[in-house]
């Protein structure tokens, strides 16, 4: 039995995947990748990560703000990230 793989850091919301994301996820599964963690590094990509996690059964979301953008974080940003966590059980990491 092969050990199942988890892609622990993907950016599935990136433009190169726009036209063939279904195929990318299918090919990953065909090659033994059971689950994918798609990473949000700002509010926009965090929202996209949550949307993708909802859309695909084997995709999970990491949300947060990249350290380079830490100065942009305020209470509104924290509140929105918290709402994302509360809205779907597929948010598995915050950073």
| Tens digits of residue pLDDT in 40-83 | 999 999 999 999 999 999 999 999 999 999 999 999 999 999 99
Look at residue 1 and tell me whether its pLDDT is greater than 70: no
- CA–CA gap between residue 70 and residue 29 (Å, rounded): 35
The pLDDT of residue 17 is 93
DSSP codes of every residue in 31-86:
TTEEEEEEE-SSHHHHHHHHHHHHH-TTEEEEE---GGGGGG--HHHHHHHHHHHH
The mean per-residue pLDDT over the stretch 83-95 comes to: 96
As a CATH number, domain 5-94 is: 3.20.20.140
Domain segments of the chain: what residues?
5-94
Question: What is the average per-residue pLDDT within 5-28?
Answer: 96
Q: What is the pTM of this model?
A: 0.93
Mean of the per-residue pLDDT values for the chain? 96
């Amino acid at each position: 039995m092969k050990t199942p793989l988890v892609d622990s850091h993907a950016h599935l919301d990136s433009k190169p995947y726009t036209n063939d994301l279904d195929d990318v996820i299918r090919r990953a599964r065909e090659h033994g990748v059971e689950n994918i963690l798609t990473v949000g590094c700002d509010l926009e990509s965090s929202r996209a990560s949550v949307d993708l996690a909802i859309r695909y059964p084997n995709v999970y979301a990491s949300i947060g703000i990249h350290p380079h953008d830490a100065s942009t974080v305020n209470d509104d940003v924290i509140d929105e990230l918290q709402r994302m966590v509360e809205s779907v059980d597929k948010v598995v990491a915050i950073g």
